Copies of this chain bind each other. A is one copy, B any other.
Amino acid sequence: MTKPLSGEPALIEALARIFGAAPPEVVLGIGDDCAVLDLGGPDYLLWTVDTLMEGVHFDLGYTTLRQLGRKSLAVNLSDVAAMGGTPRYALLSLAWPKERDTAGALELGQGLAELGREYGVAVIGGDSVAAGGGVAVTVTVLGTAPKGEMVRRAGARAGDRVLVTGPLGEAAAGLEVLKRRLSLEPALREPLCQALLDPRPQLQAGRLLASKRLASAMIDLSDGVATDLYHVCRASGVGARLHGAAIPVSPRVRAVAQILDQDPLDLALKGGEDYQLLFTTPPALAETLDRAFRQAGLPPPLFLGEIIPGDAVLLQTSQGMQEISGAGFNHFRLDLEGGSV
């Protein structure tokens, strides 16, 4: 049983009202992927924190502690990527059950440090506390973004194209494979499990989009397209129309959907934890965008649909049009115990 990280929008908004107005050097507070501070100098400071809880976000039956360490940092780096920033430093707060061998905590630390090295992030502090229940890993990350180059959730305009940096539903399919112990040939199985257990934050793509001003709005896919694109739409005051036929679903995701007798679009659009970047781009920049990605050696962004006036996320398929706004995983709405193991 594993659920993506997911905030409950109504709760977050109520908390934002309680926390009240921020001082002027706070460029962005609650409601984007990172809080953003202007403390002087040429760069903004980006700041994010995420907690992964055993039994909710990971299952140590199929996640190694090294993978957990990597992922606890990766989900934070993905938030920095979503604003076009560069992550710099991380702190770890580890809640560790006393009955667990502390050697495991070091394995987790090794995974964290390893991913940090891969992305140039220094883990500069850490603390451990006793855990009453399972393992809980909180990581907080500081990053930077040049002031003129930051991308927010707000900024999408009607007519913009909706794109994504990679295929969708891989992690959701991986979760089904592991949870239901689906038998699948290794060539299909491995990439799906890796997408779930060891996601790669899209930092290079995020920086490219920000530095070349190619994205009008951006978010990382933690809760699924239906939910995360809805966040972008709400922040930007627009709607979106997705084209079912265009949604990038890999043959391996289709294979899992077929075994489960599910619509592959459900995995692709409502499944969480892809940690790809979802962004919007004015149509006039389409060619520049493709060229920039090609020159950087990155796979070309994949088309999902377009921004429209309104406030809903719509999905156009051969069966017609349906609204899917916010229909991703949401732990406060879905049953945590849902899904057979």
Contact = CB atoms under 8 A, between A and B. Distances in A.
Contacts of A55: 132-133
A266 B189 CA distance: 57
Interface residues of A, number: 72
Interface stretch (A90-98, A160-168, A276-284, A290-298): A90-98
A105 B57 CA distance: 20
A96 to B, nearest CB: 8
Interface string A285-328: 00000000000000000000000000000000000000000000
A12 interface: yes
A29 B131 CA distance: 24
A129 B331 contact: yes
A132 B12 contact: no
A7 interface: yes
Given A47-B142, A105-B11, A106-B14, A89 B122 contact: no
**Identical copies in the complex:** 2
A5 B129 contact: yes
A91 B56 contact: no
Contact of A127 (B26, B40, B50, B93): B50
A223 to B, nearest CB: 11
A125 to B, nearest CB: 4
A129 B22 CA distance: 23
A11 B125 CA distance: 12
Given A41-B41, A136-B136, A332-B102, A53 B130 contact: yes
10 contacts: A16-B126, A19-B123, A26-B122, A30-B125, A30-B126, A39-B41, A49-B127, A51-B93, A54-B132, A93-B138
Given A39-B39, A57-B129, A130-B336, 14 more contacts: A3-B130, A11-B102, A11-B106, A15-B109, A26-B89, A47-B140, A49-B92, A49-B125, A51-B129, A54-B132, A55-B132, A95-B136, A98-B336, A133-B134
